[in-house]
Structure formats: C-alpha cells, structure tokens
C-alpha cells in the first residue's frame, strides 16, 4: 500500500475528532481516483501495444526485435535515456553490432522506429503513429 502513512494519519485524525469522517472520505476518494487513473494508464498501454502488434503482425520480426520493441513500449518515451542505440540493442539481445544495426534499420524501414541524429550518434525511438 503506497499511501499507508497517509491512511493511518487520516484515520487517526478521524478517530480523535467527533463523528465527522469527511477527512477520511476525502482521502479515500482521492486514493480511489489515483488507483483508477493508474489502472487506466496500464490499460491504455496494453491497448497501444496490442494495436501496434496488430498493425505489424504480417511482418516477420525476429524474437530480438520483438523483445526490444516490447521494452520500448513498456518503458515509454523516457525509458531509454538517449533512445535505443545499436550498442544498447546488441547488449540487450546478445547479438553482434552488425546484426543490431541491420535489425534496427529494418524496424526503421517498417516505420516502427524513427531515427534521431545520424552517423555514429544515431538513436532510435518508437514512431508516433
């Protein structure tokens, strides 16, 4: 329970007062609202991931490519500082840099990734649409 300290503090304040439970209800409804928002965010992520995979299901991707795309989807836009580089891809998937470059380039050509920068400093991010 992420909000345990606030829960006990609010409960204690409510118990020491009269019969007014307004503070506890405000805390509870706020907590409930945040939980609903987190659930909504999770579901939106699941739906976005499902939509992306349906869009590209006709393409034959390697297990390495699927793994990296799923990691990028799971971590979100700020998950990989500086974007996905060839070295990060190779390290994450245990393949050579040449294979990493080739597979990232294929994902770019399919439109799943976009390039940021050029030459040795090129990075890849998920395409937005």
Confidence of residue 124 (pLDDT cuts 50, 70, 90): very high
Query: 42 pLDDT exceeds 80?
Result: yes
Tell me which residue of 98, 101, 45, 94 sits closest to 67, measured CA to CA. Answer: 94
Give the mean pLDDT of the chain: 87
Query: 38 pLDDT exceeds 80?
Result: yes
Query: 19 pLDDT exceeds 80?
Result: no
Those residues whose C-beta lies under 8 Å from the C-beta of residue 84, and which sit 6 or more positions away, are 68, 72, 104, 113, 123, 124, 125
User: Which residue stretches of 17-117 are H helix?
Assistant: 22-55, 63-75, 86-93, 97-110
């Amino acid at each position: 329970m992420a909000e345990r300290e606030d829960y006990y503090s609010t409960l204690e304040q409510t118990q020491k007062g009269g019969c007014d439970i307004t503070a506890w209800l405000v805390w509870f409804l706020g907590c409930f609202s945040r939980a609903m928002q987190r659930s909504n965010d999770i579901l939106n992520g699941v739906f976005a991931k499902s939509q992306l995979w349906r869009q590209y299901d006709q393409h034959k991707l390697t297990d390495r490519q699927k793994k990296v795309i799923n990691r990028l989807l799971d971590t979100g836009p700020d998950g990989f500082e500086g974007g996905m580089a060839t070295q990060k891809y190779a390290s994450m998937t245990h393949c050579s840099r040449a294979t990493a470059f080739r597979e990232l380039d294929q994902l770019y050509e399919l439109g799943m990734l976009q390039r940021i920068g050029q030459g040795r400093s090129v990075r890849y991010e998920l395409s937005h649409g």
